[in-house]
């Protein structure tokens, strides 16, 4: 599937001019509050009509203001999971789930009710009324309701934001299962980078109504101009690896990728499984000489490609490790003491526990 | 105690028939009007608003007189309906039902409209993303949610139509067996010597029907309300 969006919109003082294309299975729209994320997916769903623009899924044009095309929401067949669930209060959970199927075109293979109910773990809730559900249960039912309408595309507007941390951890694995088991592409809105990294393969970064960056997740995360948009403590690089082996006695899992080998705490994954880690800038230590007698297991040879100052005085050192960009956050004093400069070859040290 | 005369039974039956048809016939218009008043954004909506509530403030005799002029045998609307559809209102029970419907309409519209005002529009948007066209959204989401309000409006309008006196007696007079409803029958009984006992019986029945309707509506509204909380 390919989704292309090019829209211009104005609401009061807010101006939105978003233009991106994505082929991702899960595309995240990421950015600070007020950057226009929800407006973008409201426009994709047809709930907001933009001033100008064009939206297409593969060859199907949903909106083209130049040609006067604007499909109404009920003809777009785009599922939408809202922040607050929006379950129908007068219907039971089962009736909520089946609501969209009633309107789905007949003849096509219908989404499998039992499989989706099972995947979301909501079988025991079917007879209940929405008001008797917890926040996490409501969101799971809302996701099931959207999937059972056989959508071409599933939109999710911060599906976890109304939940507390424990509930989030309950629902997040279900989102990952939908990504892997349901064959529906997802566009997902979030301001939480950990959620994005857990789910997305494509990333569109929005800032003040404009697309700041768009593309495959790891490539976008590697761009230094994107890092400042993440909350300060969240800056870091995303690295794609696979499981090379386990050392149960030492409690370690060996991960391997383009950058070499990394030792991480034991992970319950089969050998060969893909694995994505998020290496925070603040978890990397820099050394000029290859160190000895350290407890840290992971020492990577890297080249400095740039220095990025922050408003608070700290610096992000941009690094390259066999083509994989990394970030390390250090104090100005450390930059001076080590004499860090672009082009220099140094060592990046990463504690294994930082890779948990 | 309740050995009612055939005339009294006729008046009770006629009252129930008149009130039932008054509400049944005006309900679709009432829901539509309430929806337009709640959602509509067009010039002249305040005029529609005032027109709907007018029977509430006008003296009922005035309403009855206007009905007589418009819907009487020679009235512009009455003559048209009689000629083309064979529907006659003047001095028939149908006229009493029309008077009851007009007098109950503001109460019906008011209750339903307040319900429409409280509907969460975001639920309607959600139904749209699930493939429901606006008509289906109205039938499967909006209407079920406003049902308690519709019910309250129906009961109020029914009670108002049952009790209608001024407009009815002006428009269709007080003909036993045709247009003599409970209130006009009670009025007649109070005008004849020795009619007090019979009047009392009908008053008792009036009170019982009204109380029953209120209790039933309260009960149903609470049950429905629980569902959509």
Q: With a cut of 50, which residues of chain B have pLDDT below it?
A: none
Of the CA atoms within 13 Å of residue A299, those in its CB half-sphere come to 14
| Predicted confidence band of residue A57 (pLDDT cuts 50, 70, 90) | very high
Task: Examine residue B1 and state whether it is found in any structural domain, yes or no.
Answer: no
Which CATH number is A236-355 given?
2.40.50.100
Contacts of B227 in chain A (CB under 8 A): 89-90, 129
Contact residues, chain A to chain B, C-beta under 8 Å: 45-47, 72-74, 76-80, 82, 84, 86, 88-90, 99-100, 102-104, 129, 131, 145-146, 149
Report the pLDDT value the prediction gives residue B167, as an integer from 0 to 100: 92
Q: Which residue of chain A comes nearest to B147, CA vs CA?
A: A90
Residue A139 has pLDDT above 70, yes or no: yes
Residue A291 vs residue A22, higher pLDDT: A22
- Tell me whether B195 touches chain A (CB under 8 Å): no
Find tokens 């608003």 and name the residue.
B49
Lowest mean pLDDT among A152-161, A168-177, A205-214, B169-178: A168-177
Asked if residue A55 lies in contact with residue A43, where contact means CB atoms within 8 angstroms, the answer is: yes
pLDDT tens-digit profile of A292-348? 877 777 888 899 988 877 777 788 888 888 888 888 888 888 888 888 888 889 999
Q: Is B212 contained in some domain?
A: yes
Question: Residues with Cβ < 8 Å from A234, sequence gap 6 or more?
Answer: A193, A194, A280
Nearest to A190 by CA among A209, A169, A205: A205
**Residue ranges with strand state E in A158-251:** 186-190, 202-207, 210-216, 236-247
Euclidean distance between CA atoms A133 and A121, whole angstroms = 13
**Is there a contact between A89 and B228 if contact means CB atoms under 8 Å apart?**
yes
Residues B104-133: tens digit of each pLDDT: 999 999 999 999 999 999 999 999 999 999
Closest CA to A137 of A158, A123, A151, A147: A123
Query: Residue A128 above 90 pLDDT?
Result: yes
Whether complex ipTM tops 0.85 = no
Q: Which of A18, A22, A24, A16 is nearest to A6 (CA)?
A: A18
Confidence label for A19 from pLDDT (cuts 50, 70 and 90): very high
Q: Chain A: residue nearest B131 by CA?
A: A74
Q: Which of A241, A285, A290, A281 is nearest to A263 (CA)?
A: A241
Is residue B35 domain-resident? Answer: yes
Highest mean pLDDT among A105-114, A121-130, A302-311: A121-130
Measured in angstroms, the CA of A212 and the nearest CA of chain B are apart by: 29
Chain A contact for B229 (CB, 8 A cutoff): yes
Backbone φ and ψ of B213, nearest 5°: -65, -45
B127/A89 Cβ within 8 A? no
Report whether B23 contacts B161 (CB < 8 A).
Answer: yes
How many structural domains comprise chain B?
A: 1
Domain containing residue B170:
6-228
Chain A residue closest in CA terms to B123: A86
B77: domain CATH number is 1.10.3720.10
pLDDT single digits (tens) A177-211 = 888 887 789 999 988 787 888 888 899 998 888 99
Q: B144, A90: Cβ pair inside 8 Å?
A: yes
Of A190, A114, A167, A86, give the one whose Cα is nearest residue B127: A86
Element (H, E) at B166: helix B166-172
CA B214/CA B193 separation, integer angstroms = 34
| Shortest distance, CA B136 to any CA of chain A (angstroms) | 9
Whether A80 and A41 have beta carbons less than 8 Å apart is answered as yes
B229 vs A89: CB contact, 8 Å cut-off? yes
- Across the range A157-165, mean pLDDT stands at 82
3-class DSSP state of A222: coil
Find the closest chain B residue to A86 by CA distance. B123
- Among A215, A186, A189, A211, residue whose Cα is nearest residue A202: A215
Contact A134, A74 (CB under 8 A): no
Number of alpha carbons in the 13 Å side-chain half-sphere of residue B40: 15
Residue A103 with chain B: CB contacts under 8 Å: 130-132, 136
CA dihedral (A151, A153, A158, A159) positive or negative: positive
Tokens 């209130």: give the residue: B183
Distance CA A49, CA B32 (A): 27
Residues of chain A neighbouring B144 (CB-CB closer than 8 A): 90
- Would you state the pLDDT for residue B2? 63
Asked whether A305 and A325 are in contact (CB, 8 A), the reply is yes
State whether residue B143 sits within 8 Å of chain A by CB.
no
Beta bridge partners of A66: none
CA neighbor of B113 nearest in space, from B53, B24, B25 = B53
Q: What percentage of chain A reaches a pLDDT higher than 70?
A: 95
**Is B136 in Cβ contact with A88 (below 8 Å)?**
no
Task: Give the number of A-B residue pairs with CB atoms closer than 8 Å.
Answer: 67
- Give the closest residue to B95 by CA, choosing from B185, B170, B176, B29: B170
Q: Tell me what pLDDT residue B221 has.
A: 74
pLDDT value of residue A268: 83
* Mean pLDDT, chain A, integer: 86
Facing A73 at nearest CB: one of B128, B144, B229: B128
Q: Is residue B23 part of a domain?
A: yes
Closest-approach residue (CA) in chain B for A155: B129
Contact residues, chain A, for B134 at CB < 8 Å: 74
Going by their DSSP bridges, the two strands A153-157 and A78-81 should be labelled as: parallel
Residue A238: predicted pLDDT: 82
Full-model pTM: 0.79
Q: What SS3 state is found at A3? A: strand
pLDDT of residue A108: 63
- Chain B residues inside the 8 Å CB shell of A102: 131
A80 CB neighbours in chain B (<8 A) are 126, 129
- In this structure, what token pair is assigned to residue B167? 């407009």
User: Chain A: residue nearest B227 by CA?
Assistant: A90
A131: distance to nearest CA of chain B, Å?
7
Q: Give the Cα separation of A117 and A103 in Å (integer).
A: 19
> What are the residue boundaries of the structural domains of chain A, listed by start?
3-221, 236-355
Q: Name the residue among A80, A89, A90 with its Cβ closest to that of B129.
A: A80
Kindly report, residue by residue over A26-42, the tens digit of the pLDDT.
Answer: 999 998 888 889 999 99
* Angstrom distance (rounded) from CA B38 to CA A226: 46
Classify burial at A105, counting beta carbons within 10 Å of its beta carbon; exposed 0-12, middle 13-18, buried 19 or more. exposed
Decide if B141 touches A, using CB distance below 8 A.
Answer: yes
Nearest to A227 by CA among A128, A326, A110, A305: A326
Return the pLDDT at A96: 95
- DSSP string covering A106-162, please? TTSPPP-HHHHHHHHT-GGGTTS-GGGS-HHHHHHHHHHHHHTT--SEEEEESTTTT
Residues whose CB is less than 8 angstroms from the CB of residue B112 and which lie 6 or more positions away in sequence, other chains included: B30, B31, B34, B35, B146, B149, B150, B153
Residues whose CB falls within 8 Å of the CB of residue A114, separated by 6 or more in sequence, listed in order: none
Q: Could you write out the DSSP letters of every residue in A36-89? A: SHHHHHHHHHTSS--SEEEEEETTEEEEETTTTEE--HHHH-EEEE-TT----T
Establish if B227 touches chain A: CB-CB under 8 angstroms.
yes
Helix, strand, or coil here: A314? coil
Q: List pLDDT tens digits, range A226-251.
A: 655 555 556 778 888 888 888 888 88
Q: Is A154 exposed, middle or buried (0-12, 13-18, 19+ CB in 10 A)?
A: buried
CA nearest B225 in A: which residue?
A90
Rounded Cα gap, residues A189 and A226, in angstroms: 17
Note whether residue B53 is domain-resident. Answer: yes
Chain B contact set for A76 (CB, 8 A): 129
Question: What is the spatial distance between Cα A263 and Cα A275, in angstroms, rounded to a whole number?
Answer: 13
Q: Please give the CATH topology (third level) of the domain spanning A3-221.
A: Rossmann fold (3.40.50)
């Amino acid at each position: 599937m390919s989704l292309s969006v090019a829209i211009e919109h104005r609401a009061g003082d807010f101006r939105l001019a978003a233009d991106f294309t994505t082929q991702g299975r899960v595309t995240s729209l990421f950015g600070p509050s007020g950057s226009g994320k929800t407006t973008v997916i409201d426009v994709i769903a047809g709930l907001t009509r933009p001033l100008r623009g064009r939206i297409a899924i593969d060859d199907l044009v949903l909106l083209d203001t130049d040609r006067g095309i604007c499909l109404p929401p009920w003809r777009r067949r785009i599922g939408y999971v809202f922040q607050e669930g929006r379950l129908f209060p007068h219907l039971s959970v089962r009736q909520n789930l089946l609501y969209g199927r009633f309107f789905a075109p007949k003849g096509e293979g219908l989404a499998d009710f039992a499989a989706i109910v099972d995947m979301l773990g909501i079988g025991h809730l079917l007879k209940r009324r929405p008001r008797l559900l917890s926040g996490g249960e409501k969101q799971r039912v809302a996701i099931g309701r959207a999937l059972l309408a056989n959508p071409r595309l599933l939109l999710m507007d911060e599906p976890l934001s109304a939940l507390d941390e424990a509930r989030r951890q309950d629902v997040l694995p279900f989102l990952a299962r939908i990504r892997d088991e349901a064959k529906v592409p997802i566009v997902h809105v979030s301001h939480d980078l950990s959620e994005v990294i857990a789910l997305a393969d494509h990333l569109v970064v929005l800032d003040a109504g404009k697309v700041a960056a768009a593309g495959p997740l790891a490539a976008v995360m590697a761009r230094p101009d994107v890092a400042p948009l993440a909350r300060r403590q969240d800056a870091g690089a995303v690295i794609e690896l696979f499981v090379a082996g386990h050392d149960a006695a030492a409690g370690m899992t060996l991960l391997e990728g383009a950058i070499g080998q990394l030792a991480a705490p034991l992970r319950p994954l089969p050998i060969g499984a893909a694995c994505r880690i998020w290496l925070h800038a603040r978890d990397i230590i820099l050394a000029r000489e290859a160190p000895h007698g350290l407890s840290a297991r992971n020492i990577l040879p890297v080249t400095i490609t740039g220095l990025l100052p922050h408003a608070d005085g700290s610096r992000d050192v941009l690094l390259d490790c066999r083509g994989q960009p990394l970030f390390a956050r250090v104090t100005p004093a450390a930059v001076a003491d080590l004499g860090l400069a672009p082009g220099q070859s140094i060592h990046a040290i990463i504690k294994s526990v930082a890779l948990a | 105690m309740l050995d009612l005369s055939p005339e009294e039974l006729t008046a009770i039956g006629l009252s129930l028939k008149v009130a039932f048809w008054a509400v049944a016939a005006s309900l679709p218009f009432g829901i539509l009007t309430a929806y337009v008043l709640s959602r509509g954004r067009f010039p002249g909506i305040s005029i529609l608003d005032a027109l709907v509530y007018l029977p509430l403030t006008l003296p009922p005799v005035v309403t009855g007189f206007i009905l007589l002029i418009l819907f009487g045998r020679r009235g512009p609307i009455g003559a048209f309906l009689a000629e083309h559809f064979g529907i006659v209102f003047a001095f028939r029970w149908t006229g009493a039902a029309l008077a009851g419907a007009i007098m109950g309409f503001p109460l019906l519209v008011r209750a339903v409209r307040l319900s429409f005002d409280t509907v969460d529009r975001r639920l309607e948007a959600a139904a749209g993303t699930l493939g429901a066209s606006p008509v289906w959204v109205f039938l499967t989401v909006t209407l079920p949610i406003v049902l308690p309000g519709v019910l309250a409006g129906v009961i109020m309008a029914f009670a108002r139509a049952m009790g209608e006196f001024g407009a009815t007696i002006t428009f269709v007079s007080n003909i036993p067996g045709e247009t003599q409803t409970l209130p006009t029958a009670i009025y007649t009984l109070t005008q004849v010597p020795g009619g007090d006992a019979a009047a009392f019986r009908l008053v008792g029945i009036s009170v019982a029907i009204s109380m029953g309707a209120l209790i039933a509506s309260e009960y149903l509204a609470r049950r429905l309300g629980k569902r959509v909380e």
